[in-house]
Amino acid sequence: MLDPAPHPFDLPEGNDQSRVDSDREGSVRVARVALVGVHGYGARHLDNLRRLEDDGAARLVAVADPRPPEDGTLGAGVGVFANLEDLLAAGTTPDVVVIATPIQAHAPLAHAAIAAGADVYVEKPPVASMEQYHSLLAAADKAGVAVQTGFQSLGSAALDRLDDLVASGTLGSVRGVSALGTWVRTRGYFGRSRWAGKRTLDGVDVVDGVATNPLAHAVATALRVAGARKASDVATVETDLYRAHDIECDDTSTIRVHTASGTVVTLALTLCAAEQTRPSVTLHGTQGAAVLYYTEDELAVTTAQGTDTERFGRANLLENLLEHRTTGTPLLSPLSSAGAFMRVLDAVRLAPPPHPIDPSYVTWIGDGDEAHPIVNGIEDLLQRACLAQATLSELDPGWARPASSSLPLVLDGREVGSYRDGTAVSPFLSPRPYLHPVTTLAGVAVTDHFPADHVWHLGAGVAVQDVDGVNIWGGRTYRREEQGYVWRPDHGRISRTGITQHGDSLNETLRWTGPDGAALLDEVRRISWGTVNDAVWALTVDFSLTPVGDGEVLIGSPGSNGRAGGGYGGFFWRLPTCDGASITTADASGEAGVHGTVSDWLCWQGSFGGRPATLLFLPNDNAIDPWFVRSEGYPGVGLALAWDRPAATTRDAPLTRSVTVLIADGTLTPDAIRAFAAQERHP
């Protein structure tokens, strides 16, 4: 063991630039650095300090750790202490204290270093509560010392490039920012110390969750990209926290942040992926996207011209702190800019305990300390969360907390559907009520929502892309003058104004509004359901659209705006991934044969998650609308209100439609299909 005596040099006391160390000629002025915590990430700080010493930028004068470093780890003359209190009491007088200790020790150690007049570099997360954060800020300001937080990614030059892209309008308007992290952590990772995975330890806050420690850089970087630095830059934080490990904290979570400027930041993070991938922060724009792989300082910018990828350099944050001391160079990650991150951490700290994930959705790989859980399908779920600005609860994978804004559809004691009010849906996706999940009587799910290919597809419901120029479908809008789809600030919404339930039916009144809140249409909708036989049930949707004003309202589509075959809008059903899809009508089959035709019924059969099911669509209004069908790019069926020309609705002649869908387990024979169509369709 090294001699734990203090550094032999006797230097003048004081703070900032008044405390210096010299070489034997007295010509080189270097900061005296003390490192608290030499194991774990502290070992990286030791390596960095050796480099800085070789460059003449710093001198390591002492370390503090209850478990001393191995012999030969430190240079001659470096003091070794059991704790920072002993180090400071010995008169070592460091100019900078680097803190790389367990989270719960950050605040008291930083206060002690500040009281001694030292500048501080504190690892992430800087402290474990908002109260500690404000206290540390005040102490540093009063003492006149600098505090740098260890969010190393904030030293990346790629962030300046992202700022330039936003300022220049290269990516268009910012639709949102997301952070995606799919990592793997073993049982041994959380067994390595008493504080690992804890919310509190011995009554002291720790908050060692996925967003606050392992993937904290993803959170801090996403907030920085969104322009949120100070606590006041954050308006609201919504947490949705889960765990597959046997720990107190969350290991799989979505967090949605609304900044004061209106940007939505979606954080989708897990330590329970099938394999570890490089984390990323994405800036979603109306004319492109930029993906920053922050661990590698790699930026991929995608616009209509293609994708350009570039690597950037990164400033060392401790070196930046040393330069700040001598030249006044601005800190890249000052404590004052960690306020937005601390708002997120404090929301996690104050949230209810993370919800345990049902073990039937988790697969464990490996043995002993090397075992790690995989949450089934988590990669796809988190990608959807980022694209849709949605939480795991809203995505409803089966193991998340139930969405609070849904009504169950129940037959004979079995829930066969859920009707959601859609209020939490992102404005870019045109919020509206929809049915999801809808299942067969045996429990086979036959709807999907927020799919990665078209995140604005929401189960089964009613949506229109052009209502007098307002998009109430979601996503990009097809424009004739562009001869293509573009993001526009034209998204409206459908809001519930009243609802009553009578047995197996819901009667609802709805208001269709534009992006400015102006009322466009009033809708009366009825959803009813009933059993057909022990393998089949029927769902009927009736709706009527009436203008709010005296004039007519035109209902349009990409098809009516110039896109051949793109006449979707009206009743639409998004199916989940389907194997072996068979699509038939009385006169045609297959996507190409059925798409754009008019018929009394359409049957979709296939395998959903390995289980066969059948959907028989029966328009109840004399089949005046063409079928909109997709099976190759994605699975979906709709009845097109405006196939190639707009449809009008007036107060004297409301636009009214009705459709019944038979939902069956297994596959039906052609004779059975025709028989059901004749029996269940109501002209």
DSSP assignment of 379-446, as one string? HHHHHHHHHHT--HHHH--SSSPPPSSEEEEEETTEEEEEEE--TTS-GGG----EEEEEB-TT--B-
Q: Does the pLDDT value for residue 7 go beyond 50?
A: no
- The verdict on residue 390 lying in a domain is no
Contact status, residue 429 vs residue 494, Cβ threshold 8 Å: no
For residues 535 and 655, state if they share a domain. Answer: yes
Residues 6 or more apart whose Cβ sits within 8 Å of residue 188: 368, 369, 370
How many structural domains is the chain composed of? Answer: 3
User: Which H helix or E strand runs over 256?
Assistant: strand 252-259
For residues 132 and 167, state if they share a domain. Answer: no
Q: Which residues of 175-205 are buried (b: 16+ CB within 10 A; e: fewer)?
A: bbbbbbbbbbbbbebbeeeebbbbbbbeeeb
Between residues 4 and 458, which one has the greater pLDDT?
Answer: 458
Question: Please, what sign has the CA dihedral across residues 132, 135, 138, 143?
Answer: negative
Q: What is the average per-residue pLDDT within 113-135?
A: 98
For residues 537 and 649, state if they share a domain. Answer: yes
Question: Please, what sign has the CA dihedral across residues 275, 277, 279, 282?
Answer: negative
**Domain residue limits at 55:** 16-152
- Between CA 248 and CA 117 the distance in angstroms is 37
Q: Rounded to the nearest 10 degrees, how much is the dihedral formed by the CA atoms of 32, 35, 38, 44? A: -70
DSSP class of residue 503 equals S
- Between CA 83 and CA 89 the distance in angstroms is 10
- The verdict on residue 397 lying in a domain is no
pLDDT band for position 5 (cuts 50, 70, 90): very low
Task: Sort residue 652 into left (φ over 0), alpha (ψ -120 to 50) or beta.
Answer: alpha
At which of 152, 179, 210 does a domain end? 152
For residues 167 and 68, state if they share a domain. Answer: no
Contact status, residue 417 vs residue 396, Cβ threshold 8 Å: no
For residues 113 and 173, state if they share a domain. Answer: no
pLDDT of residue 600: 95
Q: Rounded to the nearest 10 degrees, how much is the dihedral formed by the CA atoms of 138, 140, 146, 148? A: -70
- The verdict on residue 4 lying in a domain is no
Residues 6 or more apart whose Cβ sits within 8 Å of residue 220: 124, 151, 153, 154, 338, 341
Contact status, residue 483 vs residue 501, Cβ threshold 8 Å: no
pLDDT of residue 13: 31
The CATH number of whichever domain residue 120 belongs to comes to 3.40.50.720
The CATH number of whichever domain residue 354 belongs to comes to 3.30.360.10
- The verdict on residue 298 lying in a domain is yes
- The verdict on residue 107 lying in a domain is yes
pLDDT of residue 11: 27
Residues 6 or more apart whose Cβ sits within 8 Å of residue 147: 110, 114, 119, 120, 121, 122, 126, 136, 140, 334, 335
CA 185 to chain centre: 20
- The verdict on residue 37 lying in a domain is yes
What's the whole-number average pLDDT of the chain?
94
- Between CA 176 and CA 161 the distance in angstroms is 17
pLDDT band for position 402 (cuts 50, 70, 90): confident
Q: Kindly list the distances between the CA atom of residue 463 and the CA atoms of 134, 390, 579, 636, in Å, as whole numbers in the listed order.
A: 47, 19, 26, 13
- Between CA 184 and CA 187 the distance in angstroms is 10
pLDDT of residue 26: 43
> 365-386 pLDDT, tens per residue?
999 999 999 999 999 999 999 9
For residues 307 and 269, state if they share a domain. Answer: yes
For residues 347 and 488, state if they share a domain. Answer: no
Give the three-class secondary structure for 289. Answer: strand
- The verdict on residue 325 lying in a domain is no
For residues 559 and 481, state if they share a domain. Answer: yes
For residues 373 and 469, state if they share a domain. Answer: no
Q: Does the pLDDT value for residue 660 go beyond 60?
A: yes
Which candidate, 514, 468, 475, places its Cα nearest to that of 494? 514
> 234-274 pLDDT, tens per residue?
999 999 999 999 999 999 999 999 999 999 999 999 999 99
Q: Does the pLDDT value for residue 17 go beyond 80?
A: no
- Between CA 172 and CA 558 the distance in angstroms is 22
Q: How many CA atoms lie within 13 A of 448 on its CB side?
A: 22
For residues 482 and 581, state if they share a domain. Answer: yes
Q: What is the average per-residue pLDDT within 616-633?
A: 94
Question: Across 551-669, where does the E strand assignment appear?
Answer: 553-556, 570-574, 579-584, 602-608, 611-619, 627-630, 636-640, 647-649, 655-665
For residues 281 and 423, state if they share a domain. Answer: no
Which candidate, 666, 485, 665, places its Cα nearest to that of 558? 485
Q: Does the pLDDT value for residue 70 go beyond 60?
A: yes
Q: How many CA atoms lie within 13 A of 295 on its CB side?
A: 13
Q: What is the average per-residue pLDDT within 518-537?
A: 98
pLDDT band for position 86 (cuts 50, 70, 90): very high
The CATH number of whichever domain residue 643 belongs to comes to 2.70.98
Q: Kindly list the distances between the CA atom of residue 171 and the CA atoms of 167, 283, 292, in Å, as whole numbers in the listed order.
A: 9, 9, 14
- The verdict on residue 3 lying in a domain is no
Contact status, residue 571 vs residue 659, Cβ threshold 8 Å: yes
DSSP class of residue 76 equals T
pLDDT of residue 623: 83
For residues 135 and 163, state if they share a domain. Answer: no
pLDDT band for position 18 (cuts 50, 70, 90): very low
Q: Does the pLDDT value for residue 403 go beyond 90?
A: no
Q: Which residue has the tokens 């038979």?
A: 662
